[in-house]
Each structure stands twice: as structure tokens, then as C-alpha cells.
């Protein structure tokens, strides 16, 4: 049973919860403690217990008791992150909605800054910056954060196309609820659920606002996170991209946009297929061939921006479906990485090469983000030609 708030809030924050007993209190407190004194009504917090197998359900009941503005939805069976977000969205009453993952948290001052920007600009989408926080406490700027710099007060994707390359997650965007309904958007089941949700928000928005401050702390290395879990469920990415490209074809059939999304899609597939933390070796060949199938199926008629260098070569190998050549290139890349890590140059200040990044990059040039696009790869894509 979910109690309705007395007054419709400005912002609904939806937090899906599953298997995060060690992190849940930090997440909830970072939200509630940040609501300005005397301004509790503009914010409602909706926590969705996705049939969590640990003590999260009891923690949520205890936390919500006696706290105004905190509402809990308990699901009878586990449905996954996307559908749990939908369950929270179904009961949200705010004009805007923000999806926050329950193992992450907010830095102080975030909620007042977000509320102020929503009132000031009344955007369709408010984009936020974040930091990655590692287990040892180290905080790292995301490779895409620089794309949020210097944006005018209110803009559109046509005027700032680089925003499409900002990390495509739900949690770095606050969205007007009616706008979601206009776009007919919700989350689909499966992993990589942000793909058909995040991109359409920016494509369809008439008013995008960017809050150029760190508003989100993204926990790295947690056991159970999909980016560090070997599973066949990484194949869900193909279904999610099909949904995205189908939506674009129906709603915004623009050749330039399709070419840009195609490049992002193939680059994403290459990161997944090359990452030992995501795919078991016996699944790698099948994933590559599924990526090649999507390449042939969705290749834009007029071509697309082909990255230069080794990244562009990988794209061409996917296009040809040449698993043997790709596998040999990947193996050579991994050997080069091991040599660099063990060689004297590392101690002299040269950054070691990650096994999923292009060999030959200089120090600091290959910081990865979750969709796998490194800073160098983005520069390559912008500078590259078009593949026919």
C-alpha cells in the first residue's frame, strides 16, 4: 500500500532496491538529508523493493516509518532494474522524476541545486554531471564529463549534438513526467535498459538544461554490477538497441542521427565483446557475430562516421564479420598490454594499456566509461570519415 502525498511535489526520486543492504542507508540519507529545511513538500522519495533477498525490505519499512515524503513499494517478485523503475514511476506524483540507483549516492547540496534549476529553466530534461567512486575512495572524472561544459542555459540536441555522447544512463537525467508520456517511454526488461530510454530523451527534447556540477556519485566495482559480471545476459544489449533504433525510425527518421547512433552502437558492442569481465570466452564468438548481424542490418544508406586508427579497424572487422582477424587483433592487443604493464616505461610515467583499449595510446588517453567510448575514441569518431 502506497500513501498518496497531500500536495503534488516538484520532484519524485525513484530508487529501485535489490541486494544493496550495505549501501542502501547511505543512498537514502544522501537524498533525504539534502532536502532544504522547510521544503520537504517539493520532493518525494519512492523506494521500490524489487523482492530483495537480503534485509533491504525491512530496512525500507523502518526507514519510511515516521518520515514524511518517503514512500515504499514492495514487489512480490523480482522484476529487474528497468521494470522496478517503472513500478516507481507508476506511483510517482511529481512534475519531474529522477531515477537513482540504490548503491550510489548524492553529494551535499545536490537537491537544492536541482530544484533551483528545475524552477528556473523548466526543462524537458535536466542533465547532471557525476564522479566515479572506486572502492579505495578514489574519485574519477568521467571521460564524457567535458561534453557538459559551456552549454547555454537551455538548448536542444540539434544545437549541442555532443550531448548524445554523454554517458547514456537514466540517473544522470531529471525528466519532466509529461514529457515521458509524450514520448511514450518506459523501461524494458533485461540488462542495458538505459539504451532505449536515455537517447530518446535527448532526441525528443525541446528544452535541455545542463547543471554543470557534480550531482551524483557512481560507485565502481560493486559485486553484482552488470559491468563486472560475466553472463550471457550481456546479449540483452542487442534487443535494447533494436528497440532504440525502432523508436528513432518511427519518431525521428533522420539519417544523420541514425548514423551517429549506429557508430555508438558498434563501439558499445566492441567494448562488451572485448571485456573479460562481461563475457565468458565461449560466448565471445557468438556475441561478435550478433554484432556483425546488426552491422549489416542497420548500416545507414549514406554510411556513418568511422573512427580512425585501431578502433576504425575493429569497426571494419565487425562489418566483414571477420571473427578470426578480430580475435587475432584482440590477442595482440592483450599481449601488448601485458608487456607495457611489466616494462620499465610504466614506472617512468607511461600509463598501462587496458586489455579492452587500443594499443599505442599515450598516458591518460584511455579512461573508459560504461558504454566503452574512451576520450580518444570520441576524438577519432569526430575526426574520422564516413564508411559506405
The predicted pLDDT at position 6 comes to 53
pLDDT at 112 over 70: yes
Assigned superfamily of 11-227? Spore Coat Polysaccharide Biosynthesis Protein SpsA; Chain A (3.90.550.10)
**CA–CA gap between residue 248 and residue 44 (Å, rounded):** 32
Helical segments of 209-322, H only: 236-251, 255-274, 281-298, 309-320
DSSP annotation string for 14-29 = EEEESS-TTTHHHHHH
The predicted pLDDT at position 68 comes to 87
**Is 208 or 367 the better-scoring residue by pLDDT?**
208
Mean pLDDT of the chain: 86
| φ, ψ of residue 182 in degrees (nearest 5) | -60, -40
Label the pairing between strands 208-219 and 125-133.
parallel
Confidence of residue 225 (pLDDT cuts 50, 70, 90): low
Number of Cβ atoms within 10 Å of the Cβ of 87: 20
Confidence of residue 342 (pLDDT cuts 50, 70, 90): confident
CA nearest to 238, candidates 205, 201, 283? 283
The predicted pLDDT at position 348 comes to 37
Q: What is the largest CA-CA distance in the chain?
A: 66
**CA–CA gap between residue 119 and residue 220 (Å, rounded):** 32
Lowest mean pLDDT among 33-47, 124-138, 355-369: 355-369
Q: What percentage of the chain reaches a pLDDT higher than 90?
A: 74
Cell numbers placing 182:
509524450
| Contact by Cβ (8 Å): 98, 128 | no
pLDDT at 349 over 70: no
Sign of CA dihedral 201, 258, 167, 233: positive
The predicted pLDDT at position 363 comes to 27
What pLDDT, in 10s, does the model give residues 237-277? 999 999 999 999 999 999 999 999 999 999 999 999 998 88
Mean pLDDT to the nearest integer, 283-300: 97
The predicted pLDDT at position 227 comes to 65
Mean pLDDT to the nearest integer, 303-320: 94
The predicted pLDDT at position 345 comes to 46
The predicted pLDDT at position 336 comes to 79
| Contact by Cβ (8 Å): 122, 206 | no
The predicted pLDDT at position 370 comes to 34
**Which pairs from 279-282 meet CB under 8 Å and 24+ separation?**
279/230, 279/234, 280/230, 280/232
**Is 152 or 315 the better-scoring residue by pLDDT?**
315
**CA–CA gap between residue 165 and residue 56 (Å, rounded):** 34
Give, rounded to a whole angstrom, the gap between the first and last alpha carbons of the chain: 56
pLDDT at 51 over 70: yes
Cα-trace Rg, the chain: 21
The predicted pLDDT at position 340 comes to 79
Mean pLDDT to the nearest integer, 309-322: 95
CA nearest to 162, candidates 379, 388, 341? 379
What pLDDT, in 10s, does the model give residues 174-220? 999 999 999 999 999 999 999 999 999 999 999 999 998 999 999 99
State the Cα torsion 74-77-79-80 to the nearest 10°.
70
| Contact by Cβ (8 Å): 147, 163 | yes
The predicted pLDDT at position 372 comes to 35
**CA–CA gap between residue 99 and residue 12 (Å, rounded):** 9
pLDDT at 344 over 70: no
The predicted pLDDT at position 337 comes to 74
Mean pLDDT to the nearest integer, 151-172: 94
Residue-range domain boundaries for the chain: 11-227, 230-387
Mean pLDDT to the nearest integer, 271-292: 94
pLDDT at 381 over 50: no
Cell numbers placing 149:
561544459
The predicted pLDDT at position 80 comes to 95
Lowest mean pLDDT among 55-64, 76-85, 148-157, 344-353: 344-353
pLDDT at 82 over 60: yes
| Contact by Cβ (8 Å): 214, 130 | yes
**CA–CA gap between residue 271 and residue 143 (Å, rounded):** 15
Mean pLDDT to the nearest integer, 107-111: 97
Confidence of residue 384 (pLDDT cuts 50, 70, 90): very low
Confidence of residue 59 (pLDDT cuts 50, 70, 90): very high
On the 0-12 / 13-18 / 19+ scale of CB atoms within 10 A, 357 is buried
Q: What percentage of the chain reaches a pLDDT higher than 70?
A: 84
Amino acid at each position: 500500500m502506497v500513501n498518496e502525498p497531500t500536495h503534488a511535489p516538484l520532484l519524485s526520486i525513484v530508487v529501485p532496491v535489490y541486494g544493496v543492504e550495505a549501501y542502501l542507508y547511505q543512498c537514502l540519507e544522501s537524498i533525504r538529508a539534502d532536502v532544504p529545511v522547510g521544503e520537504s513538500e517539493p520532493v518525494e522519495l519512492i523506494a521500490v523493493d524489487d523482492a530483495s533477498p537480503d534485509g533491504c525490505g525491512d530496512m525500507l519499512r523502518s526507514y519510511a516509518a515516521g518520515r514524511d515524503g518517503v514512500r515504499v513499494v514492495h514487489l512480490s517478485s523480482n522484476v529487474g532494474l528497468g521494470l522496478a523503475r517503472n513500478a516507481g514511476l507508476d506511483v510517482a506524483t511529481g512534475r519531474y522524476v529522477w531515477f537513482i540507483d540504490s548503491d550510489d549516492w548524492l553529494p551535499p547540496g545536490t537537491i537544492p541545486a536541482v530544484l533551483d534549476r528545475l524552477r528556473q529553466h523548466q526543462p524537458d530534461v535536466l542533465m547532471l554531471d557525476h564522479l566515479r567512486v572506486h572502492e579505495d575512495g578514489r574519485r574519477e572524472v568521467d571521460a564524457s564529463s567535458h561534453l557538459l561544459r559551456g552549454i547555454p542555459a537551455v538548448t536542444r540536441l540539434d544545437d549541442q549534438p555532443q550531448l548524445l555522447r554523454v554517458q547514456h544512463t537514466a540517473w544522470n537525467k531529471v525528466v519532466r513526467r509529461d514529457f515521458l508520456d509524450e514520448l511514450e517511454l518506459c523501461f524494458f526488461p533485461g540488462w542495458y535498459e538505459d539504451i532505449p530510454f536515455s537517447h530518446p530523451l535527448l532526441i525528443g527534447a525541446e528544452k535541455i538544461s545542463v547543471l554543470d556540477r557534480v550531482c551524483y556519485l557512481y560507485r565502481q566495482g560493486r559485486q553484482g554490477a552488470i559491468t563486472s559480471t560475466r553472463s550471457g545476459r550481456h546479449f540483452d544489449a542487442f534487443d535494447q538497441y533494436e528497440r532504440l533504433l525502432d523508436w528513432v525510425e518511427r519518431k525521428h527518421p533522420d539519417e544523420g542521427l541514425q548514423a551517429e547512433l549506429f557508430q555508438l552502437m558498434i563501439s558499445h558492442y566492441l567494448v562488451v565483446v572485448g571485456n573479460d569481465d562481461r563475457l565468458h570466452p565461449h560466448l565471445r564468438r557468438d556475441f561478435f557475430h550478433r554484432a556483425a548481424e546488426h552491422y549489416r542490418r542497420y548500416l545507414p544508406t549514406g554510411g556513418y562516421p568511422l573512427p580512425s586508427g585501431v578502433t576504425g579497424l575493429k569497426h571494419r572487422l565487425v562489418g566483414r564479420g571477420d571473427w578470426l582477424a578480430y580475435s587475432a587483433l584482440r590477442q595482440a592487443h592483450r599481449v601488448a598490454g601485458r608487456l607495457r604493464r611489466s616494462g620499465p616505461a610504466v614506472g617512468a610515467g607511461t600509463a598501462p594499456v587496458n586489455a579492452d583499449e587500443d594499443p599505442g595510446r599515450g598516458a591518460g588517453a584511455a579512461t573508459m566509461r560504461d558504454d566503452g567510448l574512451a576520450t580518444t575514441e570520441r576524438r577519432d569518431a569526430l575526426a574520422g570519415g564516413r564508411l559506405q
